[in-house]
Amino acid sequence: MPREILPEVQIHPAIREFISNNHKDIVDEVKAAVASNDVVVVGMAQNPVPKKARKLLTQAGIPFKYLEYGSYVSMWRRRNAIKMWTGWPTFPQIFVKGTFIGGGADLEKLIASGELKQLLGG
């Protein structure tokens, strides 16, 4: 299921490097966390859904790494880099064993079905 993105040949050469490096540090930080943790929750302050996702994981006894980037009024441009990288429009963004599984409702379904424990090898 390839996701549509603008082909590089349709991006003017003068701005390709800017696009490639735009808030790359935040994406690299998420990539590093995903590479070194079984479960990663990427969220933001003031949003109740990342908080609920963390609570569900804690109740299920599943350890996780939490990364928080700003709030509704701060760091939204930086968070956009994560959204563009995953293609997911909202937070939290949740990764399990290196695979992006979606958001809070998706996590809840995986926990309820028992699939999350299977994905974690349990």
Residue 65 placed within a domain: yes
Residue 35 placed within a domain: yes
Q: How many domains does the structure of the chain reveal? A: 1
Residues 19, 11 contacting (CB under 8 angstroms): yes
> Which residues touch 36 (CB under 8 Å, ≥6 apart)?
65
Q: What CATH number should be reported for the domain holding residue 18?
A: 3.40.30.10
Residue 111 placed within a domain: yes
Predicted confidence pLDDT, tens digits, the chain (122 residues): 788 999 999 999 999 999 999 999 999 999 999 999 999 999 999 999 999 999 999 999 999 999 999 999 999 999 999 999 999 999 999 999 999 999 999 999 999 999 999 999 97
Residue 94 placed within a domain: yes
Residue 3 placed within a domain: no
Could you give the CA distance from residue 85 to residue 32 in angstroms, rounded to a whole number?
A: 14
Please give the single-letter amino acid code of residue 7: P
Residue 104 placed within a domain: yes
Residues 81, 75 contacting (CB under 8 angstroms): no
Q: Which two tokens stand for residue 10?
A: 């349709």
Residue 70 placed within a domain: yes
Beta strands in 1-122 (DSSP E): 39-43, 65-68, 93-96, 99-102
For residue 2, the model assigns a pLDDT of: 85
**Nearest CA-CA partner of 95 in 51, 41, 32:** 41
Residues 27, 81 contacting (CB under 8 angstroms): yes
Residue 1 placed within a domain: no
Q: Which two tokens stand for residue 58?
A: 């804690």
For residue 85, the model assigns a pLDDT of: 95
> Residue 12: which domain range?
8-119
For residue 21, the model assigns a pLDDT of: 96
